[in-house]
Chains A and B, each alone.
Chain A
C-alpha cells in the first residue's frame, strides 16, 4: 500500500511507524483467537464486545467479525456495541467539556454477559476505570475483560489488560497515535515526539476528536 505509506509518513511529522496495516490485522486475528480460547465453549455464547469510542468502536467490530469467522458463526452474530465514557471522566473539570460519542448497548444488554472492553491505547488506565463505572450503571456483567491494541505503560491505577496487541514502552514525552481505516482512512500506529502528561492519554491518542 504505497499510497497509505506516503500518507502515513507525510502526516507523521517525524514520528515512527510501529505497526502497519498487516501487523494490525495479525494482532486482531490473534486477539480474536485468544478471546475464543479464554472464553471457552461455556462463555462464548455469552460474549459481548464493547468498544470505547472513538477507535475502540471499529476495533471491537473487527474483533467481532474475526471471532465469527474463526468459530464458523454468522457474519454479525457476535454482539458488538460501544460505550462512551466522556460523562464518566474524572478530569472534565480540569480539561473542559468535550463532545460526546454514541453509546450503543446491543440487544439483550450486558446482564450476566461475558463482556470484553476494547480500546486502542492503554495508558494511565483512567479511561478504563471510567468505562467500568459506565458499565456498572448499565448492568451487571458476569465477566469483564479488557483488550487493547497498544499498551504503552505509565499506569496510574491498578488496571491491566487481558489481551494486549503490542507492548510499546514509551516515555511520557512521546505520543502514540493510532489510525484506523474506518476513521482515518489508513491503518497504522505511530509514535510521535512531544506528548501529553499521562493523565490525559485519550487526547494524545485522539487528536481528531478535538473540535
Chain B
C-alpha cells in the first residue's frame, strides 16, 4: 500500500484485493457485536476536510475513523477561515501543524487531493475531487458486487448516465478493470467525456441492448449542479431513454443487481420502485462503505509511524 489513496488507478490487483479482504475481515470481526469499536487507531487524528457538500461520504469516513478509535475533526469550508480567503495549502498546513495523521479531502476542483499530498506529511485520502475521482466509492461498489455475486472477475458491469461529470464512473472503470470486470458505459453522446475511447471500457448509447447482458447495472446521478449547458433536451426525454424503470428492470437477468452511489433523483435516472426493489443494493452500499473505509484507514494509518510505512 502507498501512503495516500488518491486515485483508483494507483491500486494494483494485489492492493485492491487486500483492501476488499480487509474490509471483509473487519466485517466478520464486528459481526453480531454490541460494541462495534476497535482500538486499532487509538491516538491517531483524522481530519475530514470537506470543501463540498456531502452526507454519506463524510459521515461514513467519520464513523469509520471513530470505530477504529481515531480522533476525528470535521472541517467544513463554510464557517472556517476559507471564507476569509485562506488558501488550500495554508489550510492544510494549519491542520497538519495541529497533528493530523490523515486528511480526508473532498474538493470541487479536480486534482486538489493530489496537490495536498505534496504539501503534507500525513496520508491523504481522496473523498471525491471535482469530476475526477472518488476511489473509496469504487472500492465499496466493488466490495458490494463481490459480496452479492461472489466474484468480480468476468462480471459484466454497465455504468449508466452522466459519465461526463461522474467521478464515481471514472474511479469505477479504473478499479473494476483492474479487478477483471468488463465495464460498459451507457450514456447520451453529450454526457460522455472527451477521450472515453481510451478508457478500459466499452461505450454504448443504447440502454436496452446492454441491460439484457448485464450482471450489474450502476445508475449515475444526473448532476444538475454541474450542468452548465444543455446536455439533453428535457429531463423527461432523458428519463425515457436512460432511466431505469420497472419495465427495464424486468429485462435484466435473474441475478443482476442494481446499484446507485446516491444521492438519487428518484423518477429521473431511477424509478422509485426500482430503487426499493430486492435487486437494489443502494442501502447495502452505504453500510459496505463503512467497512471499506475502515479497511482503507487501517491499511494507510495502522502502521504509520514506522520508517517503512504501511506494509502490504
Contact = CB atoms under 8 A, between A and B. Distances in A.
Interface string A60-103: 00000000000000000000000010011000111111111111
A102 B20 CA distance: 13
B18 A95 contact: no
Contact of A97 (B21, B28, B29, B302): B302
A141 interface: no
Interface in A182-211: 211
Q: Chain A at the B interface: mostly helix, strand, loop or mixed?
A: loop
Given A87-B38, A87-B39, A96 B310 contact: yes
B305 interface: yes
Given A87-B298, A97-B298, A92 B40 contact: yes
Interface magnitude class on chain A: 20 to 34
B210 to A, nearest CB: 37
Contacts of B39: 87-88, 133
A143 interface: no
A103 B306 contact: no
A38 to B, nearest CB: 28
Interface magnitude class on chain B: 20 to 34
B97 interface: no
B111 interface: no
A138 interface: yes
A92 B299 CA distance: 10
B128 to A, nearest CB: 25
A138 B33 contact: yes
A41 B24 CA distance: 38
Given A87-B29, A211-B312, A100 B22 contact: yes
A117 B184 CA distance: 49
Contacts of B33: 137-138
Given A87-B40, A97-B302, A137-B38, 14 more contacts: A88-B39, A93-B305, A93-B306, A97-B298, A97-B299, A99-B312, A100-B22, A100-B26, A102-B25, A104-B28, A105-B32, A109-B32, A137-B35, A138-B33
Interface of A: 84, 87-88, 92-105, 109, 133-134, 137-139, 211
